[in-house]
């Protein structure tokens, strides 16, 4: 489904010697900043190779939570899943973009476990022992992907010139909000983009209290 989100584009008369930049401010309908929104510029096939450098990232497990909650990577990148807790975890994903399963393992038992994420899309990961543990891996088509910070700001640099689709994703993005917007990048102006999103309530399972020191909890 192709939806259009609410956006205001402001053109500024300053250019970067390294290419154009895009600053995106993501807020709620009430004007509150929204962190954790992923912004991606969708490039035509002929430009993707110039922005296709892969990376090696990790999603750790600290105090029975995934850290970070949202990770971005370019298609083809590798991500490891160390366990820094003194209890066992069981990491898995059933997402269409990547299905994998790491059986129970403890601290330093599987720090070298690595998965390659070849397909663009959103990969939701969980722990089969701790139901409240949830994180997302956003696999972009290219490196032109950024996450909004605590102030709701995401920054993309070294953009090529042209007309492109800008995609936005958030784990709680409402159906009434949009997901794509067309932007034009020229050689004489950088871009400031203001986006308003509607988020649905967080429906994650509540974290269980630490009632004992059982190794699984």
Biggest CA-to-CA distance, the chain: 62
Looking at residue 217, what is its pLDDT?
A: 53
Looking at residue 3, what is its pLDDT?
A: 45
Residue 203: other Cβ atoms inside 10 A: 6
pLDDT digits (tens, 9 = 90+) for 26-74: 999 899 999 999 999 999 999 999 999 998 999 999 999 999 999 999 9
**Minimum mean pLDDT range among 50-59, 85-94, 180-189:** 180-189
Q: Determine the Cα–Cα distance for residues 76 and 98; give it in Å rounded to an integer.
A: 12
Mean pLDDT of the chain: 85
Residue 99: other Cβ atoms inside 10 A: 10
Q: Is the peptide bond before 68 cis (omega within 30 degrees of 0)?
A: yes
Q: Which of 117, 81, 74 is nearest to 99 (CA)?
A: 117
Instruction: Please answer whether residues 138 and 71 qualify as being in contact, where contact means their C-beta atoms are separated by less than 8 angstroms.
Output: yes
Instruction: Please answer whether residues 79 and 71 qualify as being in contact, where contact means their C-beta atoms are separated by less than 8 angstroms.
Output: yes
Confidence of residue 168 (pLDDT cuts 50, 70, 90): very high
Instruction: Please answer whether residues 132 and 206 qualify as being in contact, where contact means their C-beta atoms are separated by less than 8 angstroms.
Output: yes
Q: How far is CA 197 from CA 12, 29, 159, 168, 172, in A?
A: 23, 6, 24, 10, 10
**Per-residue three-class SS string for 133-158:** CEEEEEEECCCCEEECCCCCEEEEEE
**Minimum mean pLDDT range among 23-32, 34-43, 151-160, 186-195:** 186-195
φ and ψ of 51, to 5 deg: -130, 35
Task: Give me the mean pLDDT over the 116-130 stretch.
Answer: 95
pLDDT digits (tens, 9 = 90+) for 199-215: 998 877 777 666 555 54
Residues above pLDDT 70, as percent of the chain: 82
For the chain, the structural domain boundaries read 6-51+146-197, 56-139
pTM for the model stands at 0.85
| Top-tier CATH class for 6-51+146-197 | mainly beta
Same CATH fold assignment for domains 6-51+146-197 and 56-139: yes
Q: How many helices (H) and strands (E) does the chain have?
A: 1, 18
Q: Which of 166, 81, 174 is nearest to 126 (CA)?
A: 81
Instruction: Please answer whether residues 86 and 106 qualify as being in contact, where contact means their C-beta atoms are separated by less than 8 angstroms.
Output: yes
- Give the bridge partners for 95, in sequence order: 98
φ and ψ of 58, to 5 deg: -145, 150
Task: Give me the mean pLDDT over the 184-194 stretch.
Answer: 83
Find the distance separating the first CA and the last CA of the chain, reported in whole Å: 40
Query: Selecting from 3.40.920.10, 2.60.40.420, 1.10.600.10, 3.40.50.300, what CATH number does the domain 56-139 have?
Result: 2.60.40.420
Task: Give me the mean pLDDT over the 82-105 stretch.
Answer: 92
Residue 206: other Cβ atoms inside 10 A: 7
pLDDT digits (tens, 9 = 90+) for 1-26: 344 454 444 433 333 334 789 999 99
């Amino acid at each position: 489904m192709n939806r259009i989100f609410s956006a205001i584009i402001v053109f500024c008369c300053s250019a970067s010697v390294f290419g154009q930049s895009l600053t995106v401010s993501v807020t709620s309908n009430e004007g509150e900043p929204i962190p954790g929104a992923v912004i991606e510029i969708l490039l035509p096939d002929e430009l993707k190779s110039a922005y296709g450098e892969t990376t090696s990232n990790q999603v750790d497990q600290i105090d029975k939570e995934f850290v970070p909650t949202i990770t971005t990577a370019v298609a083809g990148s590798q991500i490891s899943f160390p366990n820094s807790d003194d209890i066992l975890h069981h990491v898995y994903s059933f997402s269409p973009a990547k299905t994998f399963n790491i059986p129970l393992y403890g601290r330093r038992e599987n720090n070298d476990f690595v998965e390659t994420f070849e397909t663009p899309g959103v990969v939701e990961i969980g722990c089969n022992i701790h139901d409240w543990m949830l994180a997302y891996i956003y696999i972009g088509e290219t490196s032109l992907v950024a996450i909004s910070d605590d102030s709701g700001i995401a920054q993309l640099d070294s953009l090529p010139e042209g007309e492109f689709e800008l995609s936005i994703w958030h784990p709680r993005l409402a159906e009434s909000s949009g997901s794509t917007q067309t932007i034009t990048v020229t050689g004489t102006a950088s871009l400031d983009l203001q986006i308003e999103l509607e988020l649905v309530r967080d429906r994650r399972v509540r974290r269980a209290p630490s009632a004992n020191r059982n190794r699984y909890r």
